[in-house]
Structure 1
Amino acid sequence: MMSSTQIRMTNDFTQYVKILGRGKKGARSLTAEEAEHAMNLMLSGQVAPEQSGAFWMLIRIREETVEETVGFTKAARDYLSKKEPLKAKVDLDWPAYAGKRNELPWFLLAAIALANTGVNIVMHGHTFDGENRIYVEYVIQQLGLAVCHSRTQLKQELIDRHFAYIPLADIDASLGSMMDLKYVLGLRSPVNTVVRMMNPFSAAHSVHGVFHRGYDQLHLSACEQLGDESVLVFRGGNGEAEVNPERDVALGKWQNNVASWSDWPKAEKEHKRLKDNLDLSRLTDHWCGNQLDQFGEQAVRQTIASVAGLLYGVTSHEDCLVLVDDIWSKRDRAYFDHIL
């Protein structure tokens, strides 16, 4: 039986479940302020598991609004700002939560190539066991790179390599538990949007990969309301921030208080994806120059181009590709030698 204090705490949250679940005529979406308060209650442990599950699924049915996304993200950022500071400058925040289904995570090579030029990049993600996906954390482990479990370790990796990966649960256990509700509910929740938006270490730039149509516009609109500094968002390969070279891509950018969209044509006219060959040696061989991967070459090249355009304020696709050639030529080809 719950104590009177616990009942009062959960009753504070009940109002939001009621707002969302009153039926077709009575239900409405939350304001940004309501969403922020609701998220604060969840992050502070004042919500029963049944309540949070109902809350997220009621929103999941109709999908989150811009105002709700803004409120959730504000609460998450404020909550994370009270944690131990990283004490290191982060140039680029790179959420990686989707996993790849039918190709390798070529975006990892794109991130490391940028890091090799001195760009401080923090990548963060979450792994769901039992899903037919390749999560970047698994690949990072297999390639012998560090998985950071503390802010101290994260800072040191940035000093040593300019690239660091940290799991969501090590950023915050509560957010990790919210993501793991998928095991119980069977569906993704709007938490997937929050962790892409939250920029936990206050990087100057952020790149968001999304999967579902319309989420790119939602992210960009939320970034505008949040007053973010510099964000790139696009529908990437399997929902990761990776340009699929076999499809046209629309890049949304929020920078200098201006929203803009660029349409890049597909770089590969033929189908070169190797969904039946997910050997990680394809990544290392391509990186070292031992073997040119036809799909990987363009996936990496176009992804670097999109992010470099954000970092250096370049808008032309052609000019971004010029940047790529310089960035790729400066990569440390011996980066993965320890595993060969």
Structure 2
Amino acid sequence: MSNAFTKYVKILGRGKKGSRTLTTEEADHAMSLILSGQVESEQLGAFWMLIRIREETIDETVGFTEATRQFLSEKEVLGLEIDLDWPAYAGKRNELPWFLLAALALADSGVKVVMHGHVFKGEERIFVEEAIRALDLPICHSCMEIKENITQKNFAYIPLQDIDSQLSDMMDLKYTLGLRSPVNTVVRMMNPFVASHSVHGVFHTGYDILHISASEQLNDPSVLVFRGGNGEAEVNPERDVTLWKWKHGVASWTSWPKAEKEHKRLKHHLDLSRLSDHWSGKQIDQFGEQAVRQTIASVAGLIHDVVSHDECLVLADQIWTNRDRNWLSEPIG
């Protein structure tokens, strides 16, 4: 292996006085070396954990993302304009992935949505891929399959493994190292199919600012970031939410009050049939109703340049009312 990567481990690990963060250019080059297979597994683990201890900087995030986007651009080209990039990597711990219904409703209204995610096996979370499989929605494994699904239903889901196996393997370093790495930020930022808009859900305080600041430096066209339910891009109706936007070259934020004054989540009833029942109208879910409504409103506001919470809710209600109630199957098994 090349010794070119060794210097980056040294920069990060020289101790309290000698270490420093990476510049954008250094982070870009380091990620390029990783994705080109020029890094030993020991180097890779040390590199990510040294950054994980203090958390990644804006410059590092920009560099990692630029290198990842460049690397992915050299793969098979989708050849289709996508409206909305929806990364889904956190998993839901104490409720269902209601954001999936929000994404499907937006797709049914004409928004071309590509969702991508990853499953951490053995964790007590419901990852969106599990819900997609249970509802008998297709899983894409190639650009061709994404095209087919977007053409038919305006919605496609693809696992990270099928976007790039190296990124998937780096996510799975959690099993070896015991901690998640900054790759979790990269896969949310990478927008692999160059969509016009992107929505990022984050969990920890400060990561919303990190994402928006990095989006500014990356000159992204349109990004929505907020601290969502368990870290997914889903508005938790039981909490106030601050929505950060980067659009038209301007960063802005707005706060929405919680939609539910009482706790209505059913963390001990995670039957996926609640999703299909709510979609079809067979059974209105008290928590899901507001989670879906507020999430649709937040994303529709980004896409349609609407700022007012009330106006966003009007849009959301129109989108939800006009959905095809027969789209989803009853959960399998």
The TM-score normalised by the length of structure 2 is 0.99
1:238 corresponds to 2:226: no
Residue 16 of structure 1 and its aligned partner are, at CA, apart by 0.2
* Cα-Cα RMSD: 0.8
**SS in structure 2 at match of 1:206:** strand
1:291-326 deviation per Cα after TM superposition (whole angstroms, max 9, x unaligned): 110000000000000000000000000100010111
2:200 paired with 1:208: yes
Secondary structure of the 1:261 match is: strand
> 1:306 is matched by which residue type in structure 2?
S
Match of 1:153 among 145, 160, 174: 145
CA distance in 2, matches of 1:325, 1:273: 21
Residue aligning to 2:86: 94
Contact 2:245 2:253 in 1 (8 A): yes
1:187 aligns with 2:185: no
Say yes or no: does 1:252 pair with 2:236. Answer: no
SS of the equivalent of 1:19 reads: helix
**Residue correspondence of structure 1 range 291-310 to structure 2 within 5 A:** 291-310=283-302
Give the letter for the 1:72 counterpart: F
Q: Distance in 1 between matches of 2:167 and 2:331?
A: 33
**Rounded Cα–Cα distance in structure 2 between residues aligned with 1:106 and 1:261:** 23
Distance of 2:120 and 2:277 partners within structure 1: 28
Residue aligning to 1:127: 119
Aligned residue among 69, 93, 98 for 1:106? 98
Q: Is 2:168 the partner of 1:176?
A: yes
3-state SS of paired residue (2:213):
helix
In structure 1, what is the Cα distance between the partners aligned to 2:317 and 2:160?
33
Q: Over residues 248-280 of structure 1, what are the superposed CA-to-partner deviations in whole Å (9 max), with x where a residue is unaligned? A: 000000000000000000000000010000001
CA distance in 1, matches of 2:154, 2:196: 15
Match of 1:325 among 313, 317, 332: 317
Q: State, as a whole percentage, how many aligned pairs show the same letter.
A: 71
Q: 1:273 aligns with which of 252, 265, 279?
A: 265
Equivalent-residue separation in structure 2 for 1:142 and 1:67 (angstroms): 40
Distance 1:332 1:15 in 2: 55
- Aligned residue type for 2:135: L
Check conservation: 2:12, 2:20, Cα contact below 8 A. Answer: yes
Question: Which of 235, 253, 261 is 2:253 aligned to?
Answer: 261
Rounded to whole Å, the distance in 1 between the matches of 2:263 and 2:166 is 41
Q: Aligned AA for 2:204?
A: H
3-state SS of paired residue (1:110): helix
- Following the alignment from structure 2 to structure 1, what is the Cα–Cα distance between the partners of residues 135 and 284? 19
CA distance in structure 2 between the aligned counterparts of 1:23 and 1:225, rounded to whole angstroms: 29
AA matched with 2:129: E
1:231 Cα shift? 0.1
Secondary structure of the residue that 1:241 maps to in structure 2? coil
Query: Aligned partners of 2:130 and 2:142: how far apart in 1?
Result: 18
Cα distance, 1:337 vs structure 2: 4.1
* Residue 339 of structure 1, CA deviation: 5.5
Distance 1:101 1:328 in 2: 25
Task: Tell whether 2:311 aligns with 1:311.
Answer: no
- Provide the C-alpha distance between the structure 2 equivalents of 1:57 and 1:328, rounded to a whole number of angstroms: 43
SS of alignment partner, residue 115 of structure 2: strand
Equivalent residue for 1:164, pick from 156, 159, 171: 156
Is structure 2 residue 65 aligned with structure 1 residue 73? yes
Structure 1 distance, partners of 2:59, 2:274, is 42
Instruction: Output aligned runs, 1:38-57, within 5 Å.
Output: 38-57=30-49
- What is the aligned residue count? 332
Report the TM-score when normalising by structure 1: 0.97
Change (3 A) 1:102 1:274: same
CA contact (8 A) 2:9 2:47 kept: yes
In structure 2, distance between residues paired with 1:150 and 1:164: 11
1:11-39 CA distance string (max 9 Å, x none): 10000000000001111000000000000
AA aligned opposite 1:183? Y
The equivalent of 1:3 in structure 2 is: none
Cα distance, 1:211 vs. partner? 0.2
Distance apart, 1:330 and its partner CA: 1.1
1:290 aligns with 2:301: no
